[in-house]
Amino acid sequence: MKRLRVAIIGQGRSGRDIHSSHMRDLPEMFEIVAAVDPLKVRRTRAAEELKCEVYADYKPLLKRRDLDLVVNASPSHLHVPISLELFKAGHNVLTEKPLARTVREVDQLAAAAKKAKKLFAIYQQSRFAPYFQQVSKVIDSGVLGRIVQISIAFNGFGRRWDWQTLTSWNGGNLMNTGPHPLDQALRLMDVPTDQTPAVFCFMDRAHFFGDAEGHVKLLLRAEKRPLIDLEISSCCAYPLFTYHLFGTQGGLKGGMTEMEWRYYKPAEAPRQRATEVPIHNPDWTPAYCGEQLNWHTEKWQVPEEQKDLFRTLGLAYYRMLHKHITQGGPLVVTPAQVRQQIAVIQEAHRQNPQIWGKKK
């Protein structure tokens, strides 16, 4: 098995706790040979933990010719400019989310990767989430009938004051957390990637100490597709379900560790048809529509070996990426899919000029 030589830009919560950590769990596939961070304490720690070369700036990586992959885990507002330089230098690039702020920036990255004939990948690992895969299985089984609405809530309660609350750093809940549920939602909608669903979005800064939003309500609509109702809020003290499905034959509710769905089978249900005749009880007193349906209930729990969600997602993504680079396997998360995601985010920002309007 070919062992890929990797450099990681950034040793913060993403670069160290996600990318470095997951690659170290796959030593037969990846060797971290360089790490970049402007903070000396992080460079010292990386040198000790990873036994690799360290740099205060990413510029030295541009001259290296011994790298199979560069991971761009820099702060969000630097994803585009740094990735463009990496492509120009001839590197395969994996960029953290959010990839960019605008579709134009995504197109610039795609063009640069194409010109360099290099890999352009985006770290959207939530596609591999066990709970998302289970939701997809239930929908595909058809037991819920036609799916009318998919409600997704990545909610919780927490105050924030870090750089991810700043619009100038591409912060805010839609850019930080949003790429995960939005990627899932767009795949469930199954709208062609060259199209953008209709978007309605409301944002509120809530209790963030920066100028970006801490509360997002996003609705997506497309013809003959389920309505998407997506919430990403940091001021929800009573979070309920991650997923709530509404179908013509039943529904589903649940979170990241367990789910339940129930449905009826049309063949077992009483035959009904619309009528203009007033509905009545046997004694002809007025009545409301009512029938007894034979409900079938099923449940799912995340397997014990997949309860460490971030590790499960990360290892699955990196195994996929290694296979893509070394054997030509499919790139499960494509730039075209992420471009569609950025188009939705861009329109959501346009509709909330009080937060994402032009700054003086």
pLDDT digits (tens, 9 = 90+) for 189-245: 999 999 999 999 999 999 999 999 999 999 999 999 999 999 999 999 999 999 999
Specify the pLDDT at position 359.
55
Boundary (domain end) residue, out of 123, 146, 181: 123
Specify the pLDDT at position 360.
41
The boundaries of the domain holding residue 288 are 127-305+340-356
CB count in 10 Å sphere of residue 115: 10
Looking at the structure, tell me whether residues 132 and 242 fall in a common domain: yes
User: Looking at the domain assignment, is residue 315 inside a domain?
Assistant: no
> What is the chain's length?
360
DSSP characters for 87-146? Answer: HHTT--EEEPSS--SSHHHHHHHHHHHHHHT--EEE--GGGG-HHHHHHHHHHHHTTT-S
Residue 271: pLDDT band with limits 50, 70, 90: very high
d(CA 178, CA 234): 12
Query: Is 261's pLDDT higher than 60?
Result: yes
Q: Give the whole-number percent of the chain exceeding pLDDT 70.
A: 99
- Listed in sequence order, the DSSP H helices in 156-286 are 173-176, 179-189
Q: What does the pLDDT look like over 314-325, one tens digit per residue?
A: 999 999 999 999
Q: What does the pLDDT look like over 327-341, one tens digit per residue?
A: 999 999 999 999 999
Boundary (domain end) residue, out of 83, 108, 123: 123
Looking at the structure, tell me whether residues 137 and 72 fall in a common domain: no
Looking at the structure, tell me whether residues 132 and 262 fall in a common domain: yes
277 versus 107: the higher-pLDDT residue is 107
Looking at the structure, tell me whether residues 78 and 187 fall in a common domain: no
- Phi, psi at residue 287, to the nearest 5°? -140, 160
Q: Is 63 exposed, middle or buried (0-12, 13-18, 19+ CB in 10 A)?
A: exposed
CATH code for position 80: 3.40.50.720
Average pLDDT rounded to a whole number, residues 13-26: 95
User: Looking at the domain assignment, is residue 323 inside a domain?
Assistant: no
CB count in 10 Å sphere of residue 163: 16
CATH code for position 193: 3.30.360.10
User: Looking at the domain assignment, is residue 310 inside a domain?
Assistant: no
Boundary (domain end) residue, out of 99, 123, 147: 123
Q: Give the whole-number percent of the chain exceeding pLDDT 90.
A: 98
Nearest partner of 322 among 28, 17, 15, judged by Cα: 28
User: Looking at the domain assignment, is residue 322 inside a domain?
Assistant: no
Average pLDDT rounded to a whole number, residues 161-171: 94
Average pLDDT rounded to a whole number, residues 346-358: 94
User: Looking at the domain assignment, is residue 44 inside a domain?
Assistant: yes
Looking at the structure, tell me whether residues 68 and 205 fall in a common domain: no
- Listed in sequence order, the DSSP H helices in the chain are 21-24, 40-50, 79-88, 103-116, 130-141, 173-176, 179-189, 309-327, 335-350, 353-356
This prediction has a pTM of 0.94
d(CA 75, CA 22): 19
Mean pLDDT (the chain) is 96
In the chain, DSSP finds a helix count (H) and a strand count (E) of: 10, 14
Q: How many domains, in total, are found in the chain?
A: 2
User: Looking at the domain assignment, is residue 71 inside a domain?
Assistant: yes
Average pLDDT rounded to a whole number, residues 260-267: 97
Query: Is 90's pLDDT higher than 60?
Result: yes
User: ω into residue 27 within 30 of 0, thus cis?
Assistant: no
User: Looking at the domain assignment, is residue 279 inside a domain?
Assistant: yes
User: Looking at the domain assignment, is residue 290 inside a domain?
Assistant: yes
Looking at the structure, tell me whether residues 150 and 271 fall in a common domain: yes
